[in-house]
């Protein structure tokens, strides 16, 4: 059965970040692998994200609005009908209950990717929340026909990560290689503070690699900072081998976004910082599962306290092994494939299969 066309509505800017598009890219890759066609419908994309989508062979449809209002929904629905879309996927915090209703009223199948459970009444055919804190209680207000895909069992990881599913990590007595990754854009330049705190670790052979997102506006200042510091810091911008960087790292400092689930698959012990309020639940949930260290919110970041915490994790092999193993149990890399299979099955039967909530 030809799966047909998937139309994905998501934007990426420096301010809002790139996570919505990058996780949708994972779903798009899985859809293409099953023989389908993918169209990204976007009003705003950073140049780096635009280039990435084009390099993946994705078709991009330019929309006129990025507001999530009625006209936005009308334009998306018109595109989906014109292209005879099998499914419409919507991912972003501006898209609310009314937006869902407009897409459904246009006679389209809708997968709504969500993180908050705060859209009001959910009327999409399927709601996907891949986060470790996702629960059915978050979606009490939903149509009886709305199905839920919840938890890291459905984490949307791109091909570059799923190829590492069978790889297993060794744990050094003392962590020597640190990876810093604070998201695709990092508008507040949190990366600079993290670099300063991390370079204060005084250990022979200690290496720091900084993965800078392609949409980060502070690249030049970060290179200038690294050149002034006594430690050799390896800077990597808009890398295409992020999975390899993670595999090489003994430890990671990361924003508490979707990157957490990539690190989990690669069994990287992680210290998580919430750069925004919507990242707090992820850091807490993964810490409660023993899968990460919750280093708090960046707005209350204390350089000396963070350096001390980092040093403790560096020196504690048993802790790092436990963090990595627990994280890997949450994520197996097949999330995008599972979601696609769910979508295909729903079309084949013209009704979604029995609800199976993947809460981890």
Q: How large is the average pLDDT for residues 262-285? A: 96
Provide CATH code, domain 5-157+333-349.
Answer: 3.40.50.11190
Does residue 203 register a pLDDT over 70?
A: yes
Q: What is the pLDDT of residue 350?
A: 74
Quote the DSSP letter at residue 189: -
- Residue 353 to residue 147: CA distance in whole angstroms: 9
Q: What's the pTM? A: 0.93
Model pLDDT for residues 286-334, shown as the tens digit of each residue: 999 999 999 999 999 999 999 999 999 999 999 999 999 999 999 999 9
Whether the domain at 5-157+333-349 and the domain at 161-330 fall into the same CATH topology? yes
Q: Nearest 5°: phi and psi at 274?
A: -85, 115
Q: Which two tokens stand for residue 161?
A: 């990560």
Does residue 60 register a pLDDT over 80?
A: yes
**Cβ proximity of 122 and 98 under 8 Å:** no
Q: Which two tokens stand for residue 279?
A: 């990242």
Domain residues of the chain, as ranges?
A: 5-157+333-349, 161-330
Q: Which two tokens stand for residue 332?
A: 């197996």
Q: Are strands 5-9 and 37-42 parallel, antiparallel or unpaired?
A: parallel
Model pLDDT for residues 154-172, shown as the tens digit of each residue: 999 999 999 999 999 999 9
Provide CATH code, domain 161-330.
Answer: 3.40.50.2000
Q: What is the pLDDT of residue 359?
A: 37
Q: Which two tokens stand for residue 191?
A: 């990366």
Q: Nearest 5°: phi and psi at 45?
A: -140, 140
Supply the DSSP string of 160-200, one letter for each residue: HHHTTTT------SS--EEEEE--S--TT-HHHHHHHHHTT
């Amino acid at each position: 059965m030809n799966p047909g066309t998937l139309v994905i509505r998501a934007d990426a800017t420096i301010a809002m970040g790139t996570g919505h598009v990058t996780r949708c890219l994972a779903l798009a890759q899985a859809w293409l692998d099953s023989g389908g066609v993918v169209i990204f419908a976007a009003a705003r994309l950073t140049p780096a994200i635009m280039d990435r989508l084009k390099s993946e062979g994705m078709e991009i449809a330019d929309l006129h609005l990025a507001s999530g209002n009625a006209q936005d929904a009308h334009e998306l629905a018109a595109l989906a009908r014109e292209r005879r879309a099998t499914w419409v996927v919507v991912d972003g915090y501006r898209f609310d209950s009314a937006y869902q209703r407009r897409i459904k009223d246009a006679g389209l199948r809708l997968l709504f990717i969500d993180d908050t459970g705060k859209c009001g009444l959910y009327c999409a055919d399927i709601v996907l929340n891949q986060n470790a804190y996702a629960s059915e209680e978050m979606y009490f207000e939903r149509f009886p026909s709305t199905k839920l895909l919840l938890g890291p069992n459905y984490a949307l990881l791109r091909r570059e990560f799923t190829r590492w599913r069978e790889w297993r990590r060794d744990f050094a007595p003392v962590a020597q290689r640190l990876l810093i990754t604070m998201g695709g854009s990092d508008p507040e330049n949190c990366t600079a503070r993290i670099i300063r705190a991390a370079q204060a670790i005084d250990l022979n052979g200690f290496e720091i690699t900084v993965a800078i997102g392609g949409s980060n506006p502070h690249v030049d200042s970060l290179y200038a900072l690294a050149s002034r510091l006594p430690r050799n810091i390896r800077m990597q911008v808009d890398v295409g081998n992020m999975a390899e960087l993670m595999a090489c790292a003994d430890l990671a400092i990361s924003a508490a976004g979707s990157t957490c689930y990539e690190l989990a698959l690669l069994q990287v012990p992680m210290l998580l910082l919430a750069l925004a309020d919507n990242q707090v639940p992820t850091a807490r949930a993964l810490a409660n599962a023993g899968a990460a260290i919750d280093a708090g919110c960046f707005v209350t970041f204390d350089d000396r306290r963070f350096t001390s915490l980092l040093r403790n994790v560096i020196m504690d092999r048993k802790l790092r092994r436990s963090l990595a193993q627990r994280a890997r149990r949450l994520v197996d890399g097949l999330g995008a494939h599972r979601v696609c299979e769910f979508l295909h099955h729903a079309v084949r039967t013209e009704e979604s299969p029995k609800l199976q909530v993947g809460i981890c």
